[in-house]
């Protein structure tokens, strides 16, 4: 316990050896809890669908459909059986990753989602990396030496920026960089008339993605930066940082080698916990920039009352949130130098 937390140095000890049993058990527990959460979310979804007026079968073929056709649809949906049987059947199908058939696309929900997923990931992943990297670098670069008036002003500025809705941010970017300056296209992911291929096509796609990514990243950045800043201020008066300064390290070295290793796991958890907000941001950004991803799909499916598709995307989004949290936990278990020491003591 008397040993100072060293951060980067000691974390390598774990990754080099085989994972200790305690680590595996902890990971298994997290995964089981995650599955339990997804099951609860699925159950809530089922209750909602049951409580909704009208049955999905009627939605498929319309109110004035042929009685025989309706009966057939009811059978294929399972709506003529008791709720318990339907529930069991539905959960069993979910377990096989069968999300049902989309009403408006007349195709398996999973296939429809998978077709739209790449565009959403191409938008979310760069935005996630960009916002967390910028927040981390700027957050460490602007740690104040204590509470200051400037700090309060910074918080006020950040609050003003984060009060601007993400779609207004998108509108402003379009107004400035597409309409006025003409640097970036304002809609979609590609020009249907373009005949570019290979590397040029990739560059072209990146040009299309630049503004949506910047919009999404900007909306996440402020919150991440404020979090990191608050954590850094909490840490700043710790004795280990004073010791590091006293032994002759520069401020930048102190932050990089001692402060950052101690706050990065908390930051990682915070980023993971904001997965839901990132997904919600993607829904809006895809609408603003006309990107055919999962977000626009869920909106159009909801407008079309395509219940199986909306349900599928909702469950998919919930799963992504759960997986992000488990991933953060897993990384913590592997990289937290403090856990490492505790486990070595236990073994």
Partner 1 sequence: MHFRRRLLVGSLAFVALALICVIVAVAATAPVACPAGPWARASAALQPPSREMLAGTDDIGRSVMCTTLYGLRTSLGIGVAAGAVTLFLGIVVGAVAGFVGGWSDLLLMRVAEVAHTIPRLFLAILVAALFEPRMIGLVLVLGLTSWGMLARIARAEAMALSAREFVLAASALGLSTVGLLLRHILPNLYRPLLATAGPTIAGAIVTEAALSYVGLGDPDSASLGRLIATAYPFMESAWWMSATPVAALVALTLAFMLLAEVPNAR
Binding stretches for partner 1 (CB under 8 A) = 37, 40-41, 44-45, 48-49, 51-53, 146-149, 152, 156, 159-160, 162-168, 171, 174-175, 179, 276, 279-280, 283-284, 287, 298-299, 301-303, 305-307, 310-311, 313-314, 317-318, 321-322, 325
Smallest distance from the beta carbon of 296 to partner 1, in angstroms?
Answer: 8
Smallest distance from the beta carbon of 79 to partner 1, in angstroms?
Answer: 14
Which residue's CB is nearer to partner 1, number 174 or number 218?
174
Q: CA 347 to CA 341: how far, in whole Å?
A: 10
Which residue's CB is nearer to partner 1, number 217 or number 313?
313
SS3 101: strand
Which residue's CB is nearer to partner 1, number 14 or number 211?
211
309, 102 Cβ separation under 8 angstroms: yes
Smallest distance from the beta carbon of 254 to partner 1, in angstroms?
Answer: 23
Tokens of 91: 């959960």
Which residue's CB is nearer to partner 1, number 146 or number 192?
146
Q: Where are the beta strands (DSSP E) in 159-248?
A: none
Smallest distance from the beta carbon of 152 to partner 1, in angstroms?
Answer: 5
Which residue's CB is nearer to partner 1, number 13 or number 48?
48
Smallest distance from the beta carbon of 153 to partner 1, in angstroms?
Answer: 8
Angle at 75 between CA 74 and CA 79, to 5 degrees: 55
- 144-173 burial, b at 16+ Cβ within 10 Å, e below that, comes to eeeeeeebeebeeebeeebeeebbebbeeb
217-to-18, 44, 90, 237, 320 alpha-carbon distances in Å:
37, 31, 37, 31, 18
């Amino acid at each position: 316990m008397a040993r100072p937390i060293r951060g980067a140095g000691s974390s390598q000890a774990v990754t080099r050896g085989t994972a200790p049993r305690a680590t595996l058990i902890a990971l298994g527990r997290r995964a089981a809890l995650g599955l339990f959460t997804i099951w609860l979310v699925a159950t809530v979804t089922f209750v909602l669908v049951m409580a909704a007026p009208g049955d999905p079968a009627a939605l498929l073929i319309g109110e004035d459909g042929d009685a025989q056709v309706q009966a057939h649809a009811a059978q294929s949906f399972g709506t003529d059986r008791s709720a318990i049987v339907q529930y069991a059947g539905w959960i069993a199908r979910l377990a096989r990753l069968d999300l049902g058939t989309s009403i408006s696309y007349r195709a398996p929900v999973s296939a429809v989602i998978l077709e739209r997923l790449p565009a959403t990931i191409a938008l979310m992943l760069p935005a996630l990396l960009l916002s967390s990297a910028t927040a981390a670098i700027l957050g460490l670069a602007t740690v104040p030496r204590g509470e200051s008036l400037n700090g309060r002003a910074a918080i006020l500025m950040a609050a003003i920026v984060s009060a601007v809705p993400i779609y207004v941010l998108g509108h402003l970017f379009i107004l400035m960089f597409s309409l006025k300056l003409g640097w970036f296209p304002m809609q979609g992911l590609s020009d249907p008339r373009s005949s570019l291929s290979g590397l040029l096509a990739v560059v072209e796609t990146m040009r299309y993605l630049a503004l949506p990514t910047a919009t999404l990243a900007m909306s996440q950045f402020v919150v991440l930066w404020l979090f990191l800043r608050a954590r850094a201020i909490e840490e700043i008066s710790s004795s280990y940082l004073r010791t590091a300064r006293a032994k002759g390290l520069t401020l930048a070295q102190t932050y990089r080698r001692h402060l950052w290793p101690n706050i990065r796991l908390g930051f990682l958890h915070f980023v993971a916990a904001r997965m839901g907000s990132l997904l919600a941001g993607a829904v809006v950004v895809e609408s603003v920039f006309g990107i055919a991803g999962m977000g626009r799909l869920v909106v159009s499916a909801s407008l079309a009352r395509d219940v199986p598709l909306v349900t599928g995307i909702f469950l998919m989004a919930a799963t992504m949130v759960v997986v992000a949290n488990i991933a953060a936990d897993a990384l913590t278990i592997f990289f937290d130098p403090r856990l490492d020491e505790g486990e070595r003591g236990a073994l």
